[in-house]
Chain A
């Protein structure tokens, strides 16, 4: 590795001709980034509708949902969701959200668009691989969505696809036939796409940095994408063979995950000797790092955006990067904490519990750095700044319940309850979504040369912020009260008194979802009709703000920038104000 790369004049591809080359099969990382984001937008709308269906059913299980019978005549005859179809909705909600939204948008989408610009490169290191990576993701999404339109409907074994339920085929439930096979194929394709994408991110960061862009001078968002790519390169490399083994068990008669003497639906399964726990280990060895694949880009985005609006340098930039690397390393040592109730030896449970508690230390340090950065600052309360503050809030709220779940004795009680649902929705779901929102409001002016509407943005923030707390905070209470998750209906006596709270959550979820229409309207309208954005509307320092909005095909109009300093020069006397841009030639005077 070298500290200062040669000028990044390596990659040239001719300006694309024709609609297909320009907008569909484009090699330009900016177009590909936008494609990822558009795909994630479609996916997040799908995933949210699925969650509404689940919430409606939980609150009013006997009320038919109009129109649903058309989508699934078997799963929702008369508009009433069967328990199996409820599980299908849950599986698809989780799979779509984790893979096609939380991995695709903050990492592949924004990373693709801004990582090359932030390091001063003209494009990704391998544009063709980059394009392939997007289209594989797209195909993976289509394959997954196709399972809605087959006779038996989608898989129902959860986004974790636990074996042997996921491995035995149709005996395990209606969606466990073709639906589960499509699920496994889709995720396998997604793994290849992410591996190619991660490889590209790493090579671009290491080899295509412009003159003067040492590793220490990279923006924090670039650092987080780079570290996320390293995590992805290892994590998806494990999920991929796991999916192959699962597919072989399903279609080729092998027994990797199916034990002997297994009877499902009164039928003895024709397999022997497999280990269901093996799937859990392989899956969670990927699955826990995946949590960080979803959230680390959010860390980077917040660290990148907060100083811009605090007009102060980020506190402890090297500590931040050290913490990100520490989290990445530790994320591989904690996967067993998802398996405390799998019959694990209590001594092993302690071995997984300790690093889980340790990983909260770098996470807490990062939070302190953010709070220290805004301490005493004259914050500019723009929409992206609000979403960054919201990120910190929901991350802390979700993180605190993580302390409890990290301890095997407490987790044993809470594991299968709504407490866990509330925990992970806050800490990875909502937090990552707030990162995506902050990034959208912050970078859309650069991507489309148009500003977003601030008033609508603030309405969107406050409604969403209050809404998510109304949805997910009560779930912690439900969990402590023993409310089991994954149940389609609450018919047990001890659960009946909790139903009013479930109705409140459902109403809050519908309300929060409706608030996203404000965002959607703002997004689409600003993209085409918003007021013209200047090159550097936020007075920020990193390289993407040194070029035009939107950037030209080669990002810098034929003049690769030369970098003179880090991205953290805020609160100084610069030529244009209280900041100095990375590419500005004058030395910073404090």
Chain B
């Protein structure tokens, strides 16, 4: 069963919203938590499918995971760190009077996160190509099928997270009013979840494949 942990974060130093700021809805964050619940459930279902499929038949082919996956994992973990740092910096700066919109240079870490995210996806594609070069395709064995399925579904969800980050970045660059704190928080939360999910999947694949 997949467990979801909340991102490691202490409450950011934020001064109370000024009178001019309307209360920002928490709906985006609730939405992401619901998304986390439903994605967790999907991967839990696939995990159970994997366990059932492996136990029932002799055609399960064990193979060595491509080592680049561990490098990719490091990249993804780093991207979570840079994003968390960006989020804290931006929300802290937003709390200061007269500095509602962060200057563009404060967004550097956000760009770095996007780059690392893209690098991770490219790394996963390289892992696929390495497996294919060994003659392991989707339909070769149930083990390879689950490998491709898990990595592809995680990759798709991660791309969704990248789109979310791009949207937040767009709003930060365009914003003339208050910083979209909840949107940034929600996108960060989702990204951390992608991180946790990947670590879980890697552990699962290492044990089972």
Q: How far is the CA of A238 from the CA of B2 in the complex (A)?
A: 14
Interchain CB contact (< 8 A) of B139 among A6, A238, A254: A254
Residues of the A chain whose Cβ atoms lie less than 8 Å from the Cβ of B42: 237-238, 240-241
The prevalent SS among residues of B at the interface is helix
Q: How far is the CA of A278 from the CA of B54 in the complex (A)?
A: 11
B53 & A256 in contact (Cβ 8 Å cutoff):
yes
The answer to whether the Cβ of A80 comes within 8 Å of any Cβ in the partner chain is: no
Q: How far is the CA of A277 from the CA of B24 in the complex (A)?
A: 48
A241 & B45 in contact (Cβ 8 Å cutoff):
yes
Chain B 30-45: CB-based contact to A (< 8 A → 1; otherwise 0): 1100110111011101
Interchain CB contact (< 8 A) of B46 among A206, A236, A241: A241
**Contact stretch, chosen from B55-63, B100-108, B198-206:** B55-63
B27 & A273 in contact (Cβ 8 Å cutoff):
no
The answer to whether the Cβ of A571 comes within 8 Å of any Cβ in the partner chain is: no
Interchain CB contact (< 8 A) of A237 among B26, B30, B38: B38
Question: How many residues of A are in contact with the other chain, CB < 8 A?
Answer: 43
A273 & B57 in contact (Cβ 8 Å cutoff):
yes
Residues of the A chain whose Cβ atoms lie less than 8 Å from the Cβ of B34: 198-199, 202-203, 233
Interchain CB contact (< 8 A) of B145 among A9, A241, A256: A256
The answer to whether the Cβ of A24 comes within 8 Å of any Cβ in the partner chain is: no
Q: Least Cβ distance of B37 to chain A in Å?
A: 6
A126 & B27 in contact (Cβ 8 Å cutoff):
yes
**Contact stretch, chosen from A135-143, A242-250, A298-306, A425-433:** A242-250
The answer to whether the Cβ of B149 comes within 8 Å of any Cβ in the partner chain is: yes
B142 & A273 in contact (Cβ 8 Å cutoff):
yes
Given that A125-B25, A202-B30, A238-B45 are contacting pairs, would A233 and B37 also be in contact in the complex, using a CB cutoff of 8 Å? yes
The answer to whether the Cβ of A224 comes within 8 Å of any Cβ in the partner chain is: no
Chain A 199-220: CB-based contact to B (< 8 A → 1; otherwise 0): 1101110111000000000000
Residues of the B chain whose Cβ atoms lie less than 8 Å from the Cβ of A10: 22-25, 27
Q: Least Cβ distance of A524 to chain B in Å?
A: 37
B142 & A256 in contact (Cβ 8 Å cutoff):
yes
Q: How far is the CA of A56 from the CA of B153 in the complex (A)?
A: 45
Residues of the A chain whose Cβ atoms lie less than 8 Å from the Cβ of B48: 281
The answer to whether the Cβ of A388 comes within 8 Å of any Cβ in the partner chain is: no
The answer to whether the Cβ of B69 comes within 8 Å of any Cβ in the partner chain is: no
Q: Least Cβ distance of B193 to chain A in Å?
A: 14
The answer to whether the Cβ of A234 comes within 8 Å of any Cβ in the partner chain is: yes
Interchain CB contact (< 8 A) of A278 among B41, B53, B59: B53
Residues of the B chain whose Cβ atoms lie less than 8 Å from the Cβ of A195: 38
Q: Least Cβ distance of B166 to chain A in Å?
A: 16
Chain B 11-34: CB-based contact to A (< 8 A → 1; otherwise 0): 000000000001111110011001
Residues of the A chain whose Cβ atoms lie less than 8 Å from the Cβ of B58: 273
Q: How far is the CA of A64 from the CA of B59 in the complex (A)?
A: 50
Given that A254-B138, A256-B53, A260-B57 are contacting pairs, would A207 and B25 also be in contact in the complex, using a CB cutoff of 8 Å? yes
Q: Least Cβ distance of A254 to chain B in Å?
A: 5
The answer to whether the Cβ of B68 comes within 8 Å of any Cβ in the partner chain is: no
Q: Tell me the A1-56 residues at the B interface (CB within 8 Å).
A: 6, 9-11
Q: Tell me the B153-178 residues at the A interface (CB within 8 Å).
A: 153
Q: Could you list 5 further interchain pairs (A-B, Cβ under 8 angstroms) beyond the known A10-B23, A237-B37, A272-B57? A: A126-B31, A237-B41, A254-B145, A255-B59, A278-B49
List 18 interface pairs A-B (beta carbons < 8 Å), by A numbering. A6-B23, A10-B25, A125-B27, A199-B35, A203-B27, A233-B41, A236-B38, A237-B42, A237-B45, A238-B45, A241-B45, A244-B149, A245-B46, A245-B49, A255-B139, A256-B142, A273-B58, A278-B52
Residues of B that sit less than 8 Å from A by CB: 22-27, 30-31, 34-35, 37-39, 41-43, 45-46, 48-49, 52-53, 56-60, 138-139, 142, 145, 149, 153
Residues of A that sit less than 8 Å from B by CB: 6, 9-11, 125-126, 129, 195, 198-200, 202-204, 206-208, 233-234, 236-238, 240-242, 244-245, 248, 252-256, 260, 272-275, 277-278, 281-282, 285
